[in-house]
């Protein structure tokens, strides 16, 4: 598990990112924050389009933000929404994270923070067992 200070920083960044979400279709804002092996935190939010399939999830947005800054080694991802119970990443996001995890050799801790403050966690390998990535070709 993460130390309390890092966990609080992740929560703050993810909540601030959620406030920036663009969700005109679902009206369901989601925020995420990724923690890199270097100790940096990058935010992401869901971005929807009126055209189906054009948007991006908060987790992938946060990963992309980190990659743009030269970081690809992730140790934790925190996801937050207004849904009372914790919301874990979708299957597409799990796959996206897995590809970076496989290359880095890290198994990031995935934290899901519910709107009611409840926090649940699991390692990516638990959420996506038997994953397939770029090293499997």
Residues designated as active site: 59
Q: List the structure tokens of 86.
A: 């914790």
Dist. CA 46–CA 57, nearest whole Å: 4
- Residue 60 DSSP symbol: H
Q: How far is CA 36 from CA 31, 115, 117, 136, in A?
A: 17, 24, 24, 24
Buried/exposed code over 64-88 (b: 16+ C-beta within 10 A; e: otherwise): ebbeeeebbbbbbbbbbbeeeebbb
């Amino acid at each position: 598990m993460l130390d309390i200070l890092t966990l609080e920083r992740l929560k703050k960044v993810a909540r601030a990112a959620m406030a920036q979400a663009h969700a005109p279709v679902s009206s369901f804002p989601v925020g995420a924050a990724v923690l890199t092996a270097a100790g940096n935190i990058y935010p992401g939010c869901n971005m929807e389009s009126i055209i189906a399939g054009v948007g991006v999830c908060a987790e992938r947005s946060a990963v992309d933000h980190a990659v743009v800054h030269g970081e690809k080694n992730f140790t934790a991802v925190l996801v937050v929404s207004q849904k009372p119970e914790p919301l874990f990443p979708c299957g597409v996001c799990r796959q996206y994270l897995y590809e970076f995890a496989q290359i880095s050799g890290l198994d990031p801790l995935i934290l899901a923070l519910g709107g009611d403050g409840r926090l649940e966690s699991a390692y990516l390998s638990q959420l996506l067992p038997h994953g397939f990535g770029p090293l499997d070709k």
